[in-house]
Structure 1
Amino acid sequence: MNLSPEKKIAGVLVPLFALRGENDLGIGDLGALREFIDWTAEIGFTLVQLLPINETGADNSPYNAISSMAIEPTTLCFAPGSPEDLKRNDFEASLSEINLTALRRSGVKYRQVKELKQRILEKAFANFSACADEKRQSEFERFCEEESSWLRDYALFRVLIEQNKGSAA
């Protein structure tokens, strides 16, 4: 984007969690963001700014991130095949364990949304671990190595949070 004082631009600042879509899982996600960006472009906006999307702590505040690198997993958009290793039966089994209509109603129910999306991520990763071909396994290993300056310590930190019932303190 070419910024100049002579050319004015218009944009909008939004919290990603508020961009609710028809198929969301109780919170705004990257799928709804794609739709929102398309809509803002149609009406002439040239900029969309988000509140921080880093992973949050127990208070769920976007301004109280527990990592400067990891994104908030609840912002991920899930559907069968997205991510690639999420099978329809696993996705539907996860949804059958909750009242999706109630989860989508009104404000974000963070605890339930986080638990649901964590289960979905774990199922997708289990499928990846069991079925991914050598090329994809190699790409994952390369990602882990390239991000090793923070990823290993962060993974340990997340394990400790889980062992301490969600407390980062």
Structure 2
Amino acid sequence: MPELNLATYLSQTISSANWKNIGFKNRAGVLIPLFTVYSKDSYGIGDLGDLKLVVDWAKLTANSIIQLLPMNEQGGLFCPYDALSSFALEPAYICLKNFPAISGKRFNSSSTDINYVDYVLKAEKLKLLWDVYLAADLSEAHDFEEFQRQNAYWLLDFALFKILKEYHKQSPWYEWEDKFKHRDQAALKRFWQDNIEKITFQMWLQWILFQQFKEAAKYAADNNIFMKGDLPVLVSRDSADVWSHLEFFKLDFAAGAPPDMYASLGQRWGMPTYNWEAIARDNYRYIK
């Protein structure tokens, strides 16, 4: 039997369509956490505008792959693998240059230390974006309405979760008032009505993020740069996913790793494990 070369072998695997899209030639690439690549145009943390500059750099240096660490919104640990949502993007990555009214404004916190990210900047960024949101006329924003419709499965609960965390001074959901912790529908409806502006702002932020990310991905594709993502396999125990779909998680378990050369005692990450039987009963909608 003749020996298959690598390209022939890969073209016969279950992921053959993806390999054909990537191609079989030798490539070089770079792995980056976006928060580390900020430029003179950003504000102490990399943003989606800087991602285009990474594409330019990759092209100049003959790199053809950019792999990003998870872009999901981070929780209090500021770790890209400890996500508040498996769907929502990190609002600190919004590029302010797209908003002329606030582009060029300086922040009180403007760290230039390349070894650290000053996450106070995120709060200051969000204050400016809140002003942009309030000044925007969304009455004819049909794209925003369509975004909400297409992402209703996760977006509504996520936006509500964010404002409930704010209401409870960022405490984890399992320390909230019982009516919110246990998702009493009447209480949630009243809270939604009383906080509709803030909740809509959270959805608007995600709309802006998805637009800017798509624009950056198109820029990469137009320049023949393959952009590769990374997803956290698990989500934080204090996440919108867990709060809104308790049945999909085993909260009496915590994920980790056995002892190895890097951690002789093993690792305990703390994220809950999945209840795959419950996810299967819902036709795997959560992970599709």
TM-score by length of 2: 0.49
CA contact (8 A) 1:24 1:104 kept: no
CA separation of 1:159 and 1:91: change in aligned 2, threshold 3 A: farther
Cα deviation for residue 33 of structure 1 reads 1.4
CA contact (8 A) 1:14 1:50 kept: yes
Task: List 4+ stretches of structure 1 deviating above 4 A.
Answer: none
Q: Which residue of 2 aligns with 1:58?
A: 76
1:48 to 29, 41, 66: 66
Return 5+ residue gaps in structure 1 as ranges.
none
Q: Which residue of 2 aligns with 1:98?
A: 108
CA contact (8 A) 2:109 2:118 kept: no
Q: Which residue of 2 aligns with 1:125?
A: 133
The reply on whether 1:36 has 2:45 as its aligned counterpart is no
Cα deviation for residue 165 of structure 1 reads 2.2
The reply on whether 1:109 has 2:115 as its aligned counterpart is no
CA contact (8 A) 1:27 1:104 kept: no
Cα deviation for residue 105 of structure 1 reads 3.5
In structure 2, C-alpha distance between the alignment counterparts of 1:37 and 1:142, rounded to whole Å: 29
What are the Cα deviations for residues 26-67 of structure 1, in whole angstroms up to 9, with x where unaligned? 111112111111111111111000110100001110010111
In structure 2, C-alpha distance between the alignment counterparts of 1:105 and 1:125, rounded to whole Å: 30
The reply on whether 1:142 has 2:151 as its aligned counterpart is no
TM-score by length of 1: 0.81
Give the greater-gyration-radius structure (CA).
2
CA separation of 1:17 and 1:142: change in aligned 2, threshold 3 A: same
The within-5 A match list for 1:78-93 is: 78-79=96-97, 82-83=98-99, 87-88=101-102, 92=105
CA contact (8 A) 2:73 2:91 kept: yes
The reply on whether 1:67 has 2:81 as its aligned counterpart is no
Tell me the percent identity: 34
In structure 2, C-alpha distance between the alignment counterparts of 1:145 and 1:91, rounded to whole Å: 33
Q: Which residue of 2 aligns with 1:166?
A: 170
In structure 1, C-alpha distance between the alignment counterparts of 2:125 and 2:159, rounded to whole Å: 17
Cα deviation for residue 166 of structure 1 reads 2.4
